[in-house]
Amino acid sequence: MSDECHLCLLGLIFLSLLLKGSSGVDETHVFISSGENVRLPCNNALPDCTSTVWFYNSYSAAVELIYLGIKKKDTESHERLSLGSDCSLNIRNISKEDYGYYSCRQYVNGDQKQGTDARVYLHVLHVSSSSSSSSQTEISAGRSVTLFCQLYSYAEVSCDDLMRSERIELFWVNQTGVKLTRSDSRYQILSSSDHCIITLNTTLLNEDHNREWRCEVTHRDQVKSSVTYTVKSSESVRCAIIILIVVIIYSCHNLS
């Protein structure tokens, strides 16, 4: 009986070693909104980053960003990159094109790979609106407005499958953090099944001045990143101009 148990235990240990060996990659998911700065960790870092290589992969590119601790000068993003003292990769001013996966590899004794590659999936949250506006996160009063909130992700399968398997969710919330739903007649919330995108469509009201709507992305029920839109009514500016004109006309009348 106890011998069988030992055999069982040995089998289990062997199996777990096999499974660990076959997966071979260490994966992290990082979520960020466009325009922000991000730090991608290198989990298998050595004390010395002169053996660090960072690769970038997306649907359209597979490039080396850092080679043996030195930044490559021929990549599109090189001006926004830097290597942290812990061998992490820092990227400034993230754009939606930066999504994809980044791998950190360490070499020892020249060409020997140290441990497994640390793979970081970078998901970029980006919001745009149907109304043109001076600031990216302001909308001026108009009849109706549509806000598109999209998560740019690299997915081996469809974006929809990725969201389901990783338990990633996108939604719109109001100022108090309450999820906007289809049941609220003010809002039309549409989520397309395959593009990791959720749109908010609403008709702006007079009292919407300074109202905020926020798009949030959650990973395993934790909020990872968000983008806030504020409604800026141009009414107040127009009012001020009209009052000014009236005052000028009135003073001109008095003068004559």
Ligand X SMILES: *[C@@H]1O[C@H](CO)[C@@H](O)[C@H](O)[C@H]1NC(C)=O
DSSP 178-211: PBP-TTSTTEEEEEETTTTEEEEEEE--GGGTT-
Nearer to ligand X, 45 or 152 (CB): 152
**CB burial class (10 A; 0-12, 13-18, 19+) of residue 250?**
exposed
- 178 lies in the binding site for ligand X (CB under 6 A): yes
Residues 186-205 that bind ligand X (CB under 6 A): 188, 201
- 144 lies in the binding site for ligand X (CB under 6 A): yes
Nearer to ligand X, 51 or 233 (CB): 233
Nearer to ligand X, 144 or 192 (CB): 144
Phi-psi region of 72 (alpha: psi -120 to 50; beta: other; left: phi over 0): beta
The first and second tokens of residue 12, run together, are 């289990």
Rounded-to-integer distance, Cα 198 and Cα 215, Å: 9
- 95 lies in the binding site for ligand X (CB under 6 A): yes
For CA atoms 3, 4, 5, 7, the dihedral sign is positive
Nearer to ligand X, 104 or 151 (CB): 151
Q: Is 225 helix (H, G, I), strand (E, B) or coil?
A: strand
Nearer to ligand X, 109 or 176 (CB): 176
Q: Which amino acid is at 166?
A: E
Give least dist CB 34 to ligand X, A: 7
Give least dist CB 144 to ligand X, A: 4
- 137 lies in the binding site for ligand X (CB under 6 A): no
Binding range to ligand X, per CB under 6 A, among 133-141, 149-157, 173-181, 219-227: 173-181
How many Cα neighbours within 13 Å face the side chain of 60? 5
Nearer to ligand X, 176 or 222 (CB): 176
- The DSSP code for 84 is -
- 77 lies in the binding site for ligand X (CB under 6 A): no
Binding range to ligand X, per CB under 6 A, among 68-76, 103-111, 113-121, 172-180: 172-180
Give least dist CB 134 to ligand X, A: 13
CA distances from 90 to 1, 27, 44, 97, 222 (A): 56, 17, 16, 16, 23
Per the CB < 8 A criterion, the answer to whether 77 and 64 are in contact is no
Total chain residues near ligand X (CB under 6 A)? 11
- 176 lies in the binding site for ligand X (CB under 6 A): yes
Q: Is 139 helix (H, G, I), strand (E, B) or coil?
A: strand
- Which residues of this protein are in contact with ligand X, per CB under 6 A? 93, 95, 144, 146, 174-176, 178, 184, 188, 201
